Amino acid sequence: MAQNGDNEAQSPEASEPTESRPVGGTEFSWCKAVPLGTGVTVLGLLLSKRPEIPVLQNALHNLQNSHPILRSKIHLDPSTNTFHFLTPASPNVQVQHFDLASTATIVQAHSNGDHDPFHTLLEDQMNHDTWHDYAPRDLDVLYASVFTLPHDRFAVFLRLHTAACDRAAAVALLLDLLRLFSGDGTGDGTGDIGEEKVSSAMEDLIPEGKMHKPFWARGLDVLGYSLNAFRFSNLNFVDAASLRRSRIVRLQLNEEETKNLLAGCKARGIKLCGALAAAGMMASWTSKGLPNYQREKYAVVTLVDCRSLLDPVLPSNYAGFYHSAILNTHDVGEETLWELAKKSYTSFVNAMNYNKHFTDMSDLNYLMCKAIENPGLTPSSSLRTALISVFEDPVVVDSGEMHGEIGVEDFVGCASAHGVGPSIAVFDTIRNGMLDCACIYPSPLHSREQIQGLIDHMKRILVEGCSSENQQIEP
């Protein structure tokens, strides 16, 4: 049974919200996207030691005090179709605890051929319909659950609305939580986490002039993005009619493979995102068995953490959504990994140099909302906007201390993507020197066997591309 509160129930308001602000343009897009299945951020921890629920709840309340947007509620005004963040004075998250029998019931109900209950629970959290309807009540942006697994293992999950917490904020939240959790949850021995004001929308912090685009140019770009979308190739769809859920497949390299891959990227002056995008495009092209001369045009979305580019500059752990997207397209045929990786990364850098992460922000948000409202504008009403999405920089974590203090055996940070979005959303982490990518895909639009085969092929491309005979650097 569930104990220690119900994290789907709204806490009684101790007082009226102390702060309120309307959501920004990018946040509005996420408020529209989450009910359809894209933008539920999940942090999952697999523990070998029993977590103390009061300590965990104290730690979460401490974080909500430090990052006010995490204790906010999303309010929809139906008369104007506008959203607001309402921020009460006190933290409100309640940890929901599931015993062994309740956890087993959930795992059995949602298992998808993956015998790992941690993955099954992670998928269940991504697909939880917390924000399927913002009316008639305001909804929290943060929920927490603890599940009891066999063999004295435990799974802790935080589920967050992406409008209030992007990947960078989620990772910082996780690390702060682990530091607090290793103590008594009140911050002893963790250092000063600091306290923010309620965060401003990203659009309000873009340096003056960086977002400017003439009206006629904006119209042409929107038209260009729209027309080009009809020319994109997609990963073959298996079932475009059935209701969808987000599923996960992991792409993992060992320490030596990761070292070689990062060395190959560094030697060519590119980032890991270029290699991951290239491997995804190559694996997709190969999966179709096309003749050598036939090329396909694939779209790649690269997500950029803009905190260091804003005015004022925000710290890396500042809670909220501060990522922007760069959309590039590439004609793919028989290129090698490094040829395509270099081309992909160079296109991304050129777009950044032209400030397209700022100037095209409203265009892409507009098109995202139009796709949500009119799925028929996308191939097979699939809502696919790209083949693959990657982050400019990976998350780098050393989890050695976490394992010893609180028994961290595994952790994953990702977000749902079965509404509007790519066929594969890659959330890459380098943990203890080893690459670990959570690859999220919409099912049954794509089958587990299809995506597992694609991810296995991506891994072969990355490993073989970094072998000694393929490491020659082109002039």
- The class level of CATH for 2-202 reads alpha beta
Q: What pLDDT does 298 receive?
A: 94
Nearest alpha carbon to residue 454 among 277, 223, 274, 286: 286
Q: What pLDDT does 403 receive?
A: 60
HEC states along 349-383?
A: HHHHHCCHHHHCHHHHHHHHHHHHHCHHHCHHHCC
In the 8-state DSSP scheme, what is residue 474? P
Nearest alpha carbon to residue 262 among 137, 91, 123, 433: 433
Q: Where are the domain boundaries for CATH 3.30.559.30 in the chain? A: 204-470
Diameter of the chain measured on Cα atoms: 67
The model's pTM is 0.91
Q: Where are the domain boundaries for CATH 3.30.559.10 in the chain? A: 2-202
Across the chain, which has 475 residues, the per-10-residue mean pLDDT values are 45 58 96 96 93 92 93 93 93 94 92 81 94 90 96 95 94 86 56 62 92 56 55 91 96 96 96 98 93 90 96 93 95 92 97 92 89 89 94 87 74 95 96 95 97 97 79 53
CB atoms within 10 A of CB 256: 12
Q: What pLDDT does 349 receive?
A: 97
pLDDT digits (tens, 9 = 90+) for 114-132: 678 999 999 999 999 899 9
The radius of gyration of the chain's CA atoms, rounded to the nearest angstrom, is: 22
Whether 22 and 83 have beta carbons less than 8 Å apart is answered as yes
Residue 55 tokens read as: 């300590």
Angstrom distance (rounded) from CA 442 to CA 425:
10
Q: What pLDDT does 198 receive?
A: 72
- Considering the domain 204-470, what is its CATH architecture? 2-Layer Sandwich (3.30)
pLDDT digits (tens, 9 = 90+) for 340-384: 999 999 999 999 999 999 998 988 898 889 889 989 888 899 999
- What are the two backbone dihedrals, phi and then psi, of residue 112, each rounded to the nearest 5 degrees? -125, 40
